[in-house]
Each structure stands twice: as C-alpha cells, then as structure tokens.
Amino acid sequence: MLTVGRFGTRDLERAKSFYDAIAELLGARRVLERANLVGYQGPEGSMFLVGEPFAGEATAGNGTQMGVAAPSRAVVDAVHAKALEMGGSCEGAPGIRGDDPNGFYGAYFRDPDGNKLTVFRYGPP
C-alpha cells in the first residue's frame, strides 16, 4: 500500500551517511539526490526520502514511525547494530514481538535526527 515515505533532517550529510550504511545492509540503494533531499529504493520498488523540510526546522514526530522489511532476522540484527554505530539510538532491541515464535521479529531505533524506525522480518527465521 505505501509507496513513499519521508523524514526530515537538520543535517543532510549526516543523514546520507546514516541511511547509506543501513540501505546497503537491506539491499537498497540511493537513487535520487538533490541539494536538499536524497531518496533510497529497495528491491520492492518503494521509495524512502530524507531531506530538509520545505519550511521550518525538521523535527521528529511524536508517534511517527517508518518500518522496513528485512530478508532475515540476521539482517534485522545487523541493521539495528549499524544504526547504533552510526549515531542512532535504541528504541527496542531485536527480538520476537508477540506470542508467535515464527511471527514478527523486529528492532526499533531512532536516526540521529530523532526519527523512529523499525526493521523487521515477519515469518519463520
């Protein structure tokens, strides 16, 4: 259903470094670059944008979150670790959420601007 999502940033160069590292682990790549915006696209074709707002200062939304599907639980773990290494903060360590051991396995983090993301694998390991 969702085809594009966007986060604001106060430091585009920092955001590019952060998201380039995460995109590589997920099999995505930077496909768009403008003076105030970059865009990433994964194998499924959806686009994720990060850039300077059109007006005002970028702020993280309270209750706002983007989710990124990973091909395996190992990639969930790797993305979460890379996010923390690149200056993000932990919002929930990798693990099963819920009662189904073959269900939702996810991790939560914030980027250096405070935007919240989850990376997840749904299904058996």
| pLDDT tens series, the chain, 125 aa | 788 999 999 999 999 999 999 999 999 999 999 999 999 999 888 999 999 999 989 999 889 999 999 999 999 999 999 999 999 999 999 999 999 999 999 999 999 999 999 999 999 98
Return the bridge partners of 69, or none: 120
Residue 90 domain-assigned (yes or no): yes
Q: Which domain holds residue 44?
A: 4-51+66-122
Contacts of residue 10, defined as CB under 8 A and 6 or more positions apart, other chains included, come to 52, 57, 58, 113
Residue 60 domain-assigned (yes or no): no
Residue 43 domain-assigned (yes or no): yes
Using DSSP bridges, classify how beta strands 116-122 and 65-69 pair: parallel, antiparallel or unpaired.
parallel
**What is the domain-level CATH number for residue 84?**
3.10.180.10
Distances (CA, A) of 10 to 13, 39, 113: 9, 16, 7
Residue 56 domain-assigned (yes or no): no
Predicted confidence at residue 62, as pLDDT, reads 87
- Domain count along the chain: 1
